[in-house]
Structure formats: C-alpha cells, structure tokens
Amino acid sequence: MKNNLPLSDLIKFSELLNQFRLVNRKVLVNGENRYENDVEHSYQLTMLAWYIVSSSPINLDLTKVLRYALAHDLVEVYAGDTFAFTDNKELRDSKEQREHEAAERIKKEFPEFQELHQMIEGYEKRKDKESKFVYALDKLQPTIQIYADNGRSWQEASLSLERIFEKGEKMAISPEVKEWFDELCELLSRKEQELFPKKKI
C-alpha cells in the first residue's frame, strides 16, 4: 500500500513541532537555570492528565483528554506564550485574538489534520468536560512544578502568594482540579516564607 501522505508533509509538520520547542515559558526547569519550552510543558501536562484519568475515579474520555493536552498550546508557535502574570495590558488584551489568528494559520497550513483543528477549537471554547479539565490542569501543573522547585520561578518574577491564589478563579471550571488547587494553596501558605519573595516592611 502506497502512502497517500507525502514525505514533504511529514517534514513540514516536524518543522512546526521544532518551532513549538523554541517557544520559552516563564517557568524555570527544575534543577536547571533555563526556562522550560512549550514542548516540555505540553508533555508534562499530558502525562499528568493521563496519570490522573487512569488512576482516579474521574469520569473523562482519556483519548480526548490526551489530545487536548497535546494540542492546547500549539497556537503559541505563532502567537507566542503570554505569561499568566504579565503586567503588559496590551499583551493580555491581545492574547485571544493572537491565538485565534494562529489557529487559523495552522488550519491553512495543515488542512488535512482535521482532528488537530477540532481539538484546538474545542479547547479554546471549553466545549466539553475534557477541555475544561485540561484547561484547569494547565493552570495547576506549573504551580506544582514551581512548588517542587522551591519557588524559584515565583521568586525570580517577584510574585506573591496572593497572586497565585488568583488562579483559583480559572480552575473553578473543573471541580476536581480546583479541589487539588485549594489543597496546594494551603500547603503554599504554610511554606510562604520559603517559597515566595520576602515581603518588604
């Protein structure tokens, strides 16, 4: 049987994934003095989602969850990463439009990959419980990672514990994830002096 997908398309998509790897986030890699990239983040999010769905009674479609997790940030190839706590209002306000335009560009470049476009659109619209779960977990996962790294990213960005609490509003979209976040916040509160920049008196 002859492949109906030309090698040139495989190379083109591989190039897109390499561009994805070049998008850096504002989260330090645990134990290293560099920022993680979008591929590393997406892999960790996907594995964490797989672990949760397979190891707990949460009732979600695993295949759909994994696809959402893998695709959720792909638009950042063209839109760039927008730091969750950025003070740049223009960057915050333009995020949705930039990501929509990026999704349209990916759709034009890879019209044959319909499942990918459906996952990107479904994630952006939070159209089902799986996309809501991944959206909320995407906010929890970096918080867990930074906690495990002794708060280095929070200290570098001069973020307070109160700013982290703000994430809870977005995580409320998934009750299961919000429960873990609330528990994590209690832990962060007990270790605030160790994890966050010292408050000025």
Residue 135 lies in a domain: yes
What pLDDT score does 156 carry? 95
**Chain-wide mean pLDDT for the chain?**
95
Q: Which of 13-17, 92-96, 173-177 has the lowest mean pLDDT?
A: 92-96
Share of the chain above pLDDT 70, in %: 98
Is residue 198 scored above 90 in pLDDT? no
Would you say residue 98 lies in a domain?
A: yes
pLDDT(200) > 70: no
pTM exceeding the 0.75 threshold for the entire prediction:
yes
Half-sphere exposure of 135 (CA within 13 A, CB side): 22
Tens of pLDDT, residues 112-122:
999 999 999 99
Answer whether residue 198 is part of any domain: no
Could you tell me the residue range of the domain that residue 102 belongs to?
34-193
How many structural domains does the chain have? Answer: 1
Residue 30 phi, psi (nearest 5)? -55, 125
Which whole number is the average pLDDT over 158-185?
Answer: 94
Least confident of 117-121, 130-134, 163-167, 196-200: 196-200
Is 161 within a domain?
A: yes
Q: Determine contact, residues 118/108, Cβ cutoff 8 Å.
A: no
Whether 197 shows a pLDDT value over 50: the answer reads: yes
Above 50 in pLDDT, residue 50?
Answer: yes
Q: What is the mean pLDDT of residues 132-139?
A: 97
Query: Smallest Cα–Cα separation from 76: which of 30, 120, 118?
Result: 120
On whether residue 51 sits in a domain, the answer given is yes
Query: Looking at residues 18-39, what average pLDDT do you find?
Result: 97
CATH code for the domain of 87: 1.10.3210.10
pLDDT tens track for 54-95 = 999 999 999 999 999 999 999 999 999 998 888 888 888 899
Query: Is 201 inside any structural domain?
Result: no
**Does residue 175 surpass a pLDDT of 60?**
yes
Q: What is the mean pLDDT of residues 184-190?
A: 97
Alpha-carbon gap, residue 134 to 62, rounded angstroms: 11
In a domain, 184, yes or no: yes
When pLDDT is averaged across residues 23-47 and rounded to a whole number, the result is 97
